[in-house]
Amino acid sequence: MQQKFTSSSKMNDLIKEDTSLLLTMTRFGFSLGFGDKTVKEVCMEKKVDEKTFLAVINFISNGYKEENINHEIISIDAVILYLRNAHDFFLDFKLPLIRKKLIEAIDSCVQEQPYRKMIMKFYDDYVAEVQKHMDYENETVFPYVLSLLEGKKNPRYNIAVFEKNHENIDSKLSDLKNILIKYFPAQQPNYLLNEVLFDLSACEKDLEKHNRVEDHFFVPITETLEKKLSTAVKEEPTAAEKVDNLTEREKEILVSVVKGLTNKEIANKLFLSTHTVISHRRNITRKLEIHSTAGLTIYAIVNKLVTLDEIKSVIE
């Protein structure tokens, strides 16, 4: 499918098309003052993975269609950094700012303390839930995914667990908005309160987008990564392949070892230093994952590097 934005799209045009993309840009580390620069130029300048940035921007702009994501070109590190920056934005900036405006708005139009207290409790409880939700992602989910990149798979966790329990965190904001619109006992028109309502709506939409990126972009990419890793584990080299991975020199040294020669004798025989022989032996052990001479002997026989007759005197 033809993507809406490409490397040669101007950053300026992206914002003109959809102002809310500015938030996505900021979370990728871009600052305003783009001039006529293209996506490619700005990404190079800021060292942001261009393909990942375009994939996220196009995903959001094209209506969150999972089928259009090319998993092979995405940098999951860049996606995680983007999501973490979004968490910081909500927790450290947007939600505290709304709180401040909410107090100001309530204080300016109602005198009754219980209203203030109840509304603020509702808001603070909500923020605590968001904090918990995002802490879990920062401290459990993202480290898990980053460990997949290092080829490690936690056997007790997978992204399906996260997907199953991942809740929408925007719905409660909608509740608060409705409480204010329908039941708030404001005696007169209040611009501050209107401002809070606009902020709550914008934040609700932004959180909903964030959730969609996590559910339909981050989760499927992580699933692909998990599948690749489990295939890689299954494709562990067989014993024969491991032997083939040994260099000719290492095979020569392995045979000498199982024939009972010492490092010094092997060094003399192959015109090498003892130090080089030890280094080769270390590599053989690492590649075959066998540490003892007895183990190496069995290995050499099974893989026909030596015959039983050749080492008869050593093993008897």
Q: Mark 134-163 with x for binding to Fe ion (rule: CB under 5 A) and - for no binding.
A: ---x--------------------------
> Interface with Fe ion by CB under 5 A: which range of 2-10, 30-38, 40-48, 131-139?
131-139
Task: Examine residue 206 and tell whether it contacts Fe ion (CB under 5 A).
Answer: no
Which residues are CB-neighbours of 243 under 8 A, at least 6 positions away? 251, 288, 299, 303, 305
- Tracing tokens 């995405």 back to the chain, one arrives at 74
Residue with Cβ nearer Fe ion (49 or 214): 214
Residue with Cβ nearer Fe ion (46 or 84): 84
Residue 223 has a CB neighbour count (10 Å cut-off) of: 15
Chain mean position to CA 313: 57
Task: Examine residue 214 and tell whether it contacts Fe ion (CB under 5 A).
Answer: yes
CB 215 to Fe ion: min, Å:
8
Distances in whole angstroms, Cα of residue 12 to Cα of each of 7, 20, 26, 86: 13, 13, 13, 21
Q: Which two tokens stand for residue 31?
A: 């600052």
CB 145 to Fe ion: min, Å:
12
The CA distance from 87 to 79, in Å, is: 13
Residue with Cβ nearer Fe ion (105 or 213): 213
Distances in whole angstroms, Cα of residue 224 to Cα of each of 70, 159, 161, 231, 247: 11, 10, 15, 11, 34
Residue with Cβ nearer Fe ion (199 or 214): 214
CB 83 to Fe ion: min, Å:
5
> Interface with Fe ion by CB under 5 A: which range of 133-141, 145-153, 187-195, 219-227?
133-141
Q: Which two tokens stand for residue 34?
A: 């783009």
CB 150 to Fe ion: min, Å:
22
Of residues 66, 56, 51, 76, the one with CA closest to residue 225? 76
> Interface with Fe ion by CB under 5 A: which range of 6-14, 41-49, 129-137, 180-188?
129-137
> Interface with Fe ion by CB under 5 A: which range of 62-70, 140-148, 171-179, 210-218?
210-218
CB 140 to Fe ion: min, Å:
12
- Tracing tokens 């719905």 back to the chain, one arrives at 171
Catalog residues that contact Fe ion under the rule CB under 5 A. Answer: 137, 214
